[in-house]
Amino acid sequence: MTDTSGTSPRVVGIMPARNSAKTLEDTFRGIPPGSLHQVILSDNASKDDTVAIAERLGITVIRNPVDRGYGGNVKNCLRAALDAGADLIVELHPDNQYDPAFIPGLVAKARDFHIAMVIGSRFLPPRRALEGGMPMWKFVCNRALTLMNATLLGLRLSEFHSGFRIYSAKWVRTLPLDRMSDDFKLGFEMISHAAEAGLPVGEAPGFCRYFDEASQNRLRGSIRYGLDTLAESFRVFRSRMAVSAARRRVL
């Protein structure tokens, strides 16, 4: 997908994919024309026709012959976007769960405020998540977890756990990706790194739909992920308190 307007920055979309043949084309067709310069799909050892469909659509494809894990696949995407000269990187999952129509709004916020990342929030306003079909147990757990994460990280956000995001490529280049998680925890680790560095993280509406073909982290995986994010939040909280105490001693 090419932006013919000739304006900057260069915006590259990334799709971490695994067995996404049923939803990939609809996701891609939903991207507003001209909003992305390039789309890169990293296929995580799919067993279906994900790669063939992506190639037919003109998407740049990277093949992982073995399962690299969700986080490992996202890292692959990020590195490919940097190699492609991205200034802004849009993470959009190819399961058609997040509405691509919100991409221009997220890009606009990233450009206007020069922040490390912009999260496409499912909770602006909160009822939008339920209207999209989010299970009630997931809604309640997300709200409780988000409150704890926000308190510990010192960030005022309505959403920490969306997979629909825009990253500053300049900031991504500073991340120690090799030392970060290859699992779902990666997405939260990126937020925690920004918070620990005192960098701004923004959010904008990002409507989400829940349906059978959409990929979801089930209850057991959600519990593990939630505990991982709390552990990471406590790590950052301790770091923030140590810095604060050091400053008080200097004063």
pLDDT of residue 217: 64
The pair of structure tokens assigned to 114 is 């020069």
**Which CATH class name applies to 11-250?**
alpha beta
User: Cα angle at 186 between 184 and 191, to 5 degrees?
Assistant: 125
pTM of the model: 0.92
pLDDT value for 129: 94
Residue pLDDT tens, the chain, 251 long: 434 344 689 999 999 999 999 999 999 999 999 999 999 999 999 999 999 999 999 999 999 989 999 999 999 999 999 999 999 999 999 999 999 999 999 999 998 778 899 999 999 999 999 999 999 999 999 999 999 999 999 999 999 999 999 999 999 999 999 999 999 999 999 999 999 999 999 999 999 999 877 666 667 888 899 999 999 999 999 998 987 777 777 66
Supply the pLDDT for residue 225.
Answer: 94
Contact, 210 vs 133, CB < 8 A? yes
Element (H, E) at 232: helix 219-250
pLDDT value at residue 1: 45
The DSSP symbol for 96 reads S
Q: Domains of the chain: which residue ranges? A: 11-250
Name the one residue in this structure whose structure tokens are 């620990």: 196
Strand blocks (E) in the chain: 11-17, 38-44, 60-64, 88-91, 117-121, 165-168, 201-205
Closest CA to 21 of 62, 64, 55: 55
